[in-house]
Amino acid sequence: MEKEPKMDIIKEADEKNDIGGIAVERLRSLVERVEHLEEEKKALSSDIKDIFAEAKSAGFDVKIMREIIRLRRMNAADRDEREYLLDLYKKAIDL
């Protein structure tokens, strides 16, 4: 039995869109989707930065705005627990 040269196997597999058990088109599609989302994320980050710059120029405290956004993401129970612990710690160090 004669063994096929390695390059012939790779060429044949490539023609079938499968190399070493990897579905080439599926992998390419996933990579391209991630790349596209990364581009969108970069654009959104730029938009968010612009909004915070606008807020700052209007006299708003951006750090406080970020904290408000962080609190709004939390559910009520987690937010209440955080505020309780913050008050408790502040009392413990006489703040």
28-80 residue pLDDT tens: 999 999 999 999 999 999 999 999 999 999 999 999 999 999 999 999 999 99
The pLDDT assigned to 11 comes to: 57
Q: Record the pTM.
A: 0.64
**Domain boundary assignment for the chain:** 1-59, 61-95
Instruction: Between 89 and 2, name the one with better pLDDT.
Output: 89
Phi (first) and psi of residue 21, to 5 degrees:
85, 5
The pLDDT assigned to 26 comes to: 92
| DSSP code per residue over 55-88 | HHHTT--HHHHHHHHHHHHS-HHHHHHHHHHHHH
